[in-house]
Structure 1
Amino acid sequence: MKYTMSSTTLYRLSGISVLIGGLFAALAAVPVFFTGEDPASSLAATAALLRIIGDMLIVVGLPGVYSRQAQQAGLFGLIGFLFTFVYILIQGVVGDTVEAFILPFLASAAPSLVKGSPPQGLVIFFLVGGLLGVVGSVLLGVMTLRAKTVARWAGLPLIVGVVLSLTAPFLPPVVGTTGMVLFLIGLAWLGFGVWLPRQPTSQLELPLMPLGPEI
């Protein structure tokens, strides 16, 4: 017995994964407005842990969301998707893991390490991730604006959000946090556009293990 799944279903599953992940991570970023950069705050650690869940949902669904408009995206769209994907992994999954588990431990066990300058290698790692995020999100946002197959205006918060989020070292932290929330809302909006049941269906056969005698 074979189970057939349409490409529309795959796109919609990817879209709803990015939609839920983006909204979840955006809501979990709100406590940062109140806790600031305090690594010892249990609220901040809990919010970072929740953001990891949202980040992972985005990572799972983003390839399918990109493939929905891959034909219109071209080479620059592909580069934008890849850079944005790596940016979410670095700044989202890895960064939030550090905030959820490592910084709270260091704040209680070795507070002098937290107050001091971070290791140079770690700074370069996140700096590279941030630069990839700027280039990738701008390209992905422009591609989304030009590709008229999904929620095209989701490209605006993607572009504005990632630029604002990287101004955090130079402006009040609230600006950077606002930018990150906008970026995540842009991703959620993009996922919503793909989730809507408007795409034509083409059949992709996905064989599953038979559960009984073949019919």
Structure 2
Amino acid sequence: MNTNHETSAMKERNMKITASNLIRWTGLSAIIAGIIFAGIQPIHPPDVLASVTTSAWGIITPLKTVMCLLFLLSWTGIYARQVKEAGWLGLAGFLLLSLSWALQTAFVFAETFIVPLLATTAPKFVDGFLGLATGHASEVNLGILPTLYTLVGISYMLGGLLFGIATFRASILPRWAAGLLAVASALTPAAALLPHQIQRLAAIPVALALIWLGYALWSERREQASSDKVSSQLHSTGAE
């Protein structure tokens, strides 16, 4: 009977560690996504037709694609850690951020795998597509794309603001990081007054906030795993 009880307890602990590790890994994904997000801003090629066939474009846009996918994982893990404490405000921020980065993933995927192929056969379309980021008017009809790109920006700003406030109020993860996320997101529209290449630098504070939150999540789960291991060893010693 005692052996069965210990086996059951061990299985339960393993299940908990597995769930804990899933959230912990999203913290690591947040760190990586934030580093890429901050790192590419100063070196990103100009969003013009001549850039899409360059080697820099061929390196940076695949990184951006990976970054977008990691962002989706990151927000999910951060929200899951504080789902009860974040409340409806946190849910609203999470859904808006998820929408923003899901749409952004589609645009970046097109930048990476579709736009370079159309650079010579449909240059006006490519020029118009890239102009979505710079505010440059398109010579061709882009359909619903301009509306979707506007939705990316609005949900990015509102999502970051609401999620930052909810995280700050929840007090589970660092409040300074949450505050930085909220303030940086709220100030995003002000960046539109700057030249496009400088606008990119406005993304760095958001990236730093994500790295900070991700590191806190990663460190917290690692410490908890170590604590669980010590408790398990003490329990085994006591049983003997």
Is the Cα contact below 8 Å between 2:31 and 2:215 reproduced in 1? yes
**What corresponds to 2:157 in structure 1?**
134
Greater mean deviation of Cα atoms: 127-136 or 166-175: 166-175
Q: 2:133 maps to what in 1?
A: none
- The aligned residue for residue 218 of structure 2 is 195
Report the residue type matching 2:91 in the other structure. L
State the 1:28 CA deviation.
Answer: 2.8
Q: Which has the larger radius of gyration?
A: 2
Structure 1 residue 168 displacement after superposition: 5.5
CA distance in 1, matches of 2:118, 2:204: 27
SS of the aligned residue for 2:15 comes to: strand
Q: Identity across aligned pairs (percent)?
A: 29
* Change beyond 3 A, Cα 1:142–1:175: farther
Does the Cα contact within 8 Å between 2:36 and 2:64 map onto a contact in 1? yes
**Structure 1 pair 39–143 and aligned structure 2 pair: CA distance change class (3 A):** farther
CA distance in 2, matches of 1:98, 1:170: 27
Q: Decide which of 5, 11, 15 is 1:4's aligned counterpart.
A: 15
Change (3 A) 1:182 1:136: same
1:37 aligned onto 2:47: yes
In structure 2, relative to structure 1, the CA distance for the partners of 1:177 and 1:192 (3 Å cut) is same
2:157 touches 2:188 (CA, 8 Å); kept in 1? no
Equivalent residues of 2:75, 2:97 under 8 A apart: no
Q: 2:115 aligns with which of 93, 103, 108?
A: 103
1:165 CA displacement: 4.4
Give the aligned residue type for 2:50: A
Partner Cα separation in structure 2 for residue 63 and residue 107 of structure 1 = 36
Pairs within 5 Å for 1:27-66: 27-32=39-44, 35-41=45-51, 42=54, 43-66=56-79
Deviates more, 1:36-45 or 1:141-150: 36-45
User: TM-score normalised to the size of structure 1?
Assistant: 0.79
SS at match of 2:173: coil
Residue segments in structure 1 that go unaligned for 5+ positions in a row: 204-215
Cα 1:176–1:120 change in 2 (3 A) is farther
Query: Alpha carbon RMSD of aligned pairs, Å?
Result: 2.6
Q: Judging changes above 3 Å, is the alpha-carbon distance between structure 1 residues 163 and 95 closer, same or farther for their aligned structure 2 residues? A: farther
Indicate the residue corresponding to 1:177 in structure 2: 200
Q: Per-residue CA shift, 1:67-99, capped at 9, x if unaligned?
A: 1112221101111011111111112x1222122
TM-score w.r.t. length of structure 2: 0.72
Question: Is contact 1:55-1:88 (8 Å) kept?
Answer: yes
The AA in structure 1 aligned to 2:21 is T
For residue 92 of structure 2, the aligned residue among 79, 84, 88 is 79
| Higher mean C-alpha displacement, 187-196 vs 165-174 | 165-174
In the alignment, structure 1 residue 16 sits paired with structure 2 residue 28: yes
Matched, 1:146 2:159: no
Alpha carbons 1:25, 1:55 under 8 Å: kept: no
CA 1:65/1:144 → structure 2, altered by over 3 Å: closer, same or farther?
same
Give the residue type in structure 1 aligned to 2:30: V
Give, as a single letter, the amino acid of the residue that structure 2 aligns with 1:80. Answer: G
Structure 1 Cα separation of the partners of residues 176 and 162 of structure 2: 14
Q: How many residues align?
A: 200
CA contact under 8 A between 2:178 and 2:209: conserved in structure 1?
yes
Letter in 2 for 1:81: F
Aligned mates of 1:160, 1:100 — CA distance in 2: 31
Unaligned runs of 5+ in 2: 1-6, 129-137, 229-240
Q: Report the alpha carbon displacement of residue 162 of structure 1 after superposing the two structures with TM.
A: 3.3
Distance in 1 between the 2:90 and 2:126 partners? 39
